[in-house]
Structure 1
Amino acid sequence: MPVNETSGRTEVRARIALDSQAGTSAPVETGTVIELEGVDIHYGQVHAVRGVSLPVARNQITAMIGPSGCGKSTVLRSINRMNDLIPGAKVSGKVTFHGKDIYAHGVDPIAVRRHIGMVFQKANPFPKSIFDNVAYGLRINGMKDNLADRVEQALRGAALWDEVKDNLKKSALALSGGQQQRLCIARAIAVEPEVLLMDEPCSALDPIATARIEELMNDLVRDYTIVIVTHNMQQAARVSDSTAFYSADVDEAGERFGFLVEFDDTQKLFSNPSDQRTEDYITGRFG
């Protein structure tokens, strides 16, 4: 995939799509692709995440770490409106993509997800052939021209082509766990998103498969902006450029909620964190 041409075309399409839905003001031309400002997330009456603000830089890997129940996956899902699919979920504050509020009136969440793709914790290939798994999103998005070439390009982008090129008609369910996860990455990048969200993509994989996914992320970040949620602090330290540390607390009503403690350059956050709570977590004193 040519870095300049493809990512440039995708970025323009993303801006046009959101501009047509939510006003005509010019996008913000900075190194920040996504910005969260004072984001609160409710599930019904439960105020699950409170006051999250952070930028996501273009063509970098941003990691989100923290103990279970601190809201990092919930925040990740807010970035492409996946929380819309949960009954009673509500996101307030602002989440912008190239300066456009993705929660503004008239913005199509399906269009948002088209440009901000997602890979889930557990590989979830469809019970279809390898080819049809990758072609699925292309077909429903009307990207049917040169379908075989697009599928090959996505599989190459996910470092899977050489392993499956002679078995494209076989069931995706016959692949190993690591191959299935790379297939899901191929399916996500086939429709040429600009941003790729990854929610614990290696948690169910063995160390060898995990290393392959980490190598793949380092390759993909040349063409995509990546946000990853991980419980593995060593993984965050290895692959990310910036890291957000989340924690959880209980309010006066006894309600547990998640919040952002600190966001910084990964090397600095792990070597010289600004907040004692971050240091306590990364040194194993809690969490």
Structure 2
Amino acid sequence: MPTHRKQQEEARDQHSVVDESEAVLRTENVKVTYGDTLALRDVSMDVPKNQVTALIGPSGCGKSTLLRCFNRLNDLIDGCKVEGKVFYRDKNLYSSKIDPVSVRRRIGMVFQKPNPFPKSIYDNITYGAKVNGFKGDMDELVEQSLQRAALWGEVKDKLKENGLSLSGGQQQRLCIARAIALKPEVVLMDEPCSSLDPVSTERVEDLIHELKEDYTIVIVTHNMHQATRVSDFTAFFNAEESDDGSRFGYLVEYDRTERVFEDPQEEATQKYVSGKFG
């Protein structure tokens, strides 16, 4: 059975499955700690442009922690420290010269639980644009964003209604519309379907397929079937217990989705995708 160190070395090599010229995001030996507790260790991988990359693995393996590294949301967590390098378009996002707020405009986020603002549907879409000094046609921005999120037809006659009045699936698509209204290049999704019914989940998954024409998408999911349905690349993370009894995550295998699920190179990956643990 491969040692953890051997798995780490092989996982680092596997970032080459993505042509570097096509990589929008890139990590080099990323390590994340919360206070004195190690959460994620030595993650190196490339995320390709206009593709969907899924992060899978058992609870506690650092998937969401890594996702938050990509737009510096971990900065908002007291005691969190990120070491290593995270590049966006060859710019180190953790350089002292980089403004985290500007990062989040280019790299949007959709959370696990739909979180519309307690405002009208219209104001949900325009809020970020106004804050960022958008000078264009707000009505056009709202319509385009809702159309891209496959929601326009359902809400075009009730834009003044509160976003919280929508169904769960509609709220999540509203949150996606709100994220893309800022015209990011990357959209991060942290288990976006975990609280949705099957019909709403299917709609969001269909939307993900459509959005990758214009956006690079990274999605955290516990649903392996979902990973096979929506993603082009898959990164499998596992968790290991440290000396103090806490758990930290590490990257085991990263490759095209069909290879990860049909011909995994690591025993741990094979056990996870076949349902033997996790």
Could you say which TM-score interval applies, normalised by the shorter chain? over 0.9
| Aligned partner letter, 1:128 | K
SS of match in other structure, 1:262: strand
Question: How much does 1:238 deviate?
Answer: 0.6
TM-score by length of 1: 0.89
Query: Within 5 A, what are the aligned runs for 1:38-187?
Result: 38-187=29-178
Instruction: Select between 207-216 and 249-258 the one with higher mean Cα deviation.
Output: 249-258
Q: 1:230 to 1:29 in 2, by over 3 A?
A: closer
Counterpart of 1:206 in structure 2 is 197
SS of match in other structure, 2:123: helix
SS of match in other structure, 1:63: strand
Aligned residues with identical type, % of pairs: 59
Counterpart of 1:37 in structure 2 is 28
Specify which of 176, 179, 190 is matched with residue 181 of structure 2.
190
Runs of 4+ in 1 over 4 A off after TM superposition: none
C-alpha contact 2:20 2:46 (8 A) present in aligned 1: no
| Aligned partner letter, 2:164 | L
**Residues 96-137 of structure 1, C-alpha deviation per residue, up to 9 Å, x if partnerless?**
001110000120000000000000000000100000000011
Question: How much does 1:251 deviate?
Answer: 2.2
Output the CA distance in 2 between the equivalents of 1:225 and 1:196: 6
Specify which of 246, 254, 258 is matched with residue 245 of structure 2.
254
Question: How much does 1:29 deviate?
Answer: 7.8
**5+ long unaligned stretches in structure 2:** 1-18
Question: How much does 1:256 deviate?
Answer: 1.4
C-alpha contact 1:29 1:98 (8 A) present in aligned 2: no
**5+ long unaligned stretches in structure 1:** 1-27
SS of match in other structure, 1:87: coil
| Aligned partner letter, 1:216 | L
SS of match in other structure, 1:68: coil
Question: How much does 1:170 deviate?
Answer: 0.5
TM-score by length of 2: 0.92
Question: How much does 1:47 deviate?
Answer: 1.0
Query: Within 5 A, what are the aligned runs for 1:257-268?
Result: 257-268=248-259
C-alpha contact 2:116 2:163 (8 A) present in aligned 1: yes
SS of match in other structure, 1:133: helix
Output the CA distance in 1 between the equivalents of 2:195 and 2:244: 36
| Aligned partner letter, 1:195 | V
Output the CA distance in 2 between the equivalents of 1:265 and 1:274: 12
Query: Is structure 2 residue 227 aligned with structure 1 residue 224?
Result: no
Number of residue pairs the alignment of both structures matches: 260
**Residues 175-201 of structure 1, C-alpha deviation per residue, up to 9 Å, x if partnerless?**
000000000000000010000000000
| Aligned partner letter, 1:277 | A
| Aligned partner letter, 1:63 | A
| Superposition CA RMSD, Å | 1.1
